[in-house]
Structure 1
Amino acid sequence: MAEHTERSIVINADPDDIMAVIADFEHYPEWVSAAREVQVTEYGAGNRPSEVRFVLDAGVLQDTYVLSYEWEADGRAVSWRLVSSDLQRDQRGRYVLAQQVPGSTKVTYELMVDLLVPMIGQLKRRAEKAITEAALNDLKKRVEG
């Protein structure tokens, strides 16, 4: 992935439980504050979502976009790329899960977003950092809560 933001957090759960929450897109509006609507539009191998449509409302930023997902066979990583969007030129991301000890997993989130509207690199990185931090904290609350 080109220049991207990377953040990690330790979640008190096993990788399979965390990946189950990540893959449960229909329930994102319950715990992802900006997600107004999330719909799986295609399924791939192992009945995993392969294409997902999002309606995002983050106050000043509102977007409808579609992401294509690839799930690692070992269940420890998932990556995505942008298919279409109203505001984004590109988006690539990845979750990587590494079990520390039983019941404890390090989750790393990598994200690169390129908007159609030009944005100064420093502001872009700051926005990516805020997005990844919020996503990891929300994921931790959802899995552990």
Structure 2
Amino acid sequence: MAEKTKRSITIAATPRQVMDVIADYAAYPQWVAAAKSVEVLEVGPSGRARQVRFVLDAGMVKDTYVLEFDWAADGRSVSWELVSGEIQKAQSGSYTLEPLPDGSTMVTYELTVDLTIPMIGLFTRKAEKAITDTALKELKKRVEG
């Protein structure tokens, strides 16, 4: 599997406010451009989604996949692993939220994707970087908007 792509952004909100937006999967089609539908399949003991099905259409890349989430008890991180996918054979990722002294939050997004179709590593890393950059910008806009 490829190296993790890691990106960060500062959002003018508390970690709880940021995590509430991250955890609201039903709302993703309203603010995540590529998300055509998002369905929570299973809720965990914390009340947060445990398994979620995503239908994405990012132009040339279309996929339906299920992720399983693990929520940190302190509410400052969530990680996930791929359960099933059409064009992905593996995906792992996480959001980590760090409160800053000014009341804002540093959000770090890590992502690794392994596709079923052969792809040169350089292109995979570029795609991961584009995905993480877009995700963080869309998250910032949603939380601060």
- In structure 2, the partner of 1:46 is 46
- Rounded Cα–Cα distance in structure 2 between residues aligned with 1:109 and 1:133: 9
Structure 1 match to 2:23 = 23
C-alpha distance in structure 2 between counterparts of 1:52 and 1:143, whole Å = 21
Q: With structure 1 as the length reference, what TM-score do the two structures score? A: 0.98
What corresponds to 2:94 in structure 1?
94
Report runs of 4+ in structure 1 exceeding 2 Å deviation.
Answer: none
Alpha carbons 1:66, 1:82 under 8 Å: kept: yes
2:143 aligned partner, one-letter code = V
Aligned CA-pair RMSD: 1.1
Structure 2, unaligned runs of 5 or more: none
Amino acid at match of 2:72: E
Query: 1:2 Cα shift?
Result: 6.0
Deviation at 1:138, TM superposition (A): 0.2
Query: Does the Cα contact within 8 Å between 1:14 and 1:102 map onto a contact in 2?
Result: no
Partner secondary structure for residue 46 of structure 2: helix
Amino acid at match of 2:75: G
> Across the two proteins, how many residue pairs are aligned to each other?
145
Q: Secondary structure at the match of 1:47?
A: coil
Residue identity opposite 1:89 in structure 2: K
Q: Give 1:116 deviation, angstroms.
A: 0.2
